[in-house]
Structures are given as C-alpha cells and as structure tokens.
Amino acid sequence: MKSVAILLSGRGSNFLALSDAIERGEIPARIALVISNIESAPGLQHAKDRGYKGLFIPSKGRDREEFDREVVAELQKERVDVICLAGFMRLLSSYFVSQYPTCIINIHPSLLPAFPGLESQKQALEWGVKTTGCTVHFVDEELDHGPIIVQRSVPVLDDDDAEALSHRILEQEHKAYPEALKLICEDRIKIEGRRAWIVGG
C-alpha cells in the first residue's frame, strides 16, 4: 500500500476524485497528507473535512527552494511514496524533483506536448484544434514535460467556449488521474527515456 501526498493550490476537484477512488478501494494507497500553498484553497478545506492531515505552507514571496525544502521535510515525515500535483500552481525546484525521482505526477488539461502552461483550454480554442483532452505525466524540472502515463481525449465542439470545454475536460481528468495513480501504486509503470510503459499491457 503506497502512501500518497496531494499538493494543490485551489478548487481541489482532482483531489476529490483521487480520494473517492482510494476510499472505494480502487487504488492500493492511503492519503497521508494534503499540502496547499494557498491558505484559502477550497481543496485544503475538503481535505480537512474528509479527515485527512491538511497543511498550509505559504509560498508567497519566498525563495522556491526554501519553500520546497519545507514541503519535502513534511513529505519525509509522513514517509510519502507518491506525490500527486493536483492544480498545484508552482514549478518544482531541482532539489524537490531529485528527492522524489519518478514519484511525482501531475495532471494537465491538454494533450501534451500541445498547450503547456496556463489556460490550455483557451489555447486549444484559439489554435482551432478539433481534439484536446488531458494528460497525467511524471514531473521533471521542466513545465508540463515528463513522461506521459495516461491521456484522454475530448472533442472540441463548434460552440465551445473556454468554460464549456474546461468542464468536459475536467470530467475526463477525474477518470484519468485515478487510473494513472492506480497503475503507479500497483507498480505497473516502467519508464524508458521519455516513454512510460504499462507493464503487462
């Protein structure tokens, strides 16, 4: 059984999807800790309401590595195996990534490598793509960059605006993230270069 931490900065709907799947017994994991760098993040409140250990660690105005060292110290205290970034609005330092090689995953609302960074749904609409989606990937030091674990596609409709498209992508995020975490917690992912393979197909 893996010990999982979730790092978030906002709404926390992906945290809820992961926690639902874990509580239903679909993923061999326990949530050891939820950390937010934003005190008022609804996701942090959801975590506390569900009885998880929830910590606010302020990041504003602080050196990136100083903040990361404080986060890593908390993760080590709880002997965390896997870290899920779920709307965590910070790039991780090389120190953080080096402490948890291939143990940190993120969800992004586009089919990477298309539309990294902010407002991916708006970028997709502006570019005029017909299909977009979401990606769960390993985290390295570059933004939205590491090996891809799971992707789910979403059609872009003619009358979509950013809100409608984001909503349909989010529905797929809530399936893709538990699916990816389950594969990791079952030790079914092998990484070779940029490619993450599912062991056993």
Residue numbers at the binding site for ligand GRF (CB under 6 A): 8, 10-14, 43, 86-87, 107-109, 170, 173
Residue 160 CA: distances (Å) to CA of 114, 129, 157, 165: 18, 12, 5, 6
Which residues form the catalytic set?
Answer: 108
**Shortest Cβ 44–ligand GRF spacing (Å):** 11
**DSSP helix/strand/coil, 195:** strand
What is the rounded CA–CA span in Å between residue 171 and residue 56? Answer: 27
Nearer to ligand GRF, 11 or 69 (CB): 11
Nearest residue to the partner ligand GRF, using Cβ: 87
CB 138 within 8 A of CB 105: yes
**DSSP helix/strand/coil, 91:** coil
What is the rounded CA–CA span in Å between residue 67 and residue 71? Answer: 6
**Shortest Cβ 150–ligand GRF spacing (Å):** 12
**Shortest Cβ 61–ligand GRF spacing (Å):** 23
Nearer to ligand GRF, 58 or 117 (CB): 117
Nearer to ligand GRF, 65 or 116 (CB): 116
CB 71 within 8 A of CB 7: yes
**Shortest Cβ 108–ligand GRF spacing (Å):** 5
H helices present in 24-156, as ranges: 42-49, 64-77, 94-99, 120-127
Nearer to ligand GRF, 69 or 125 (CB): 125
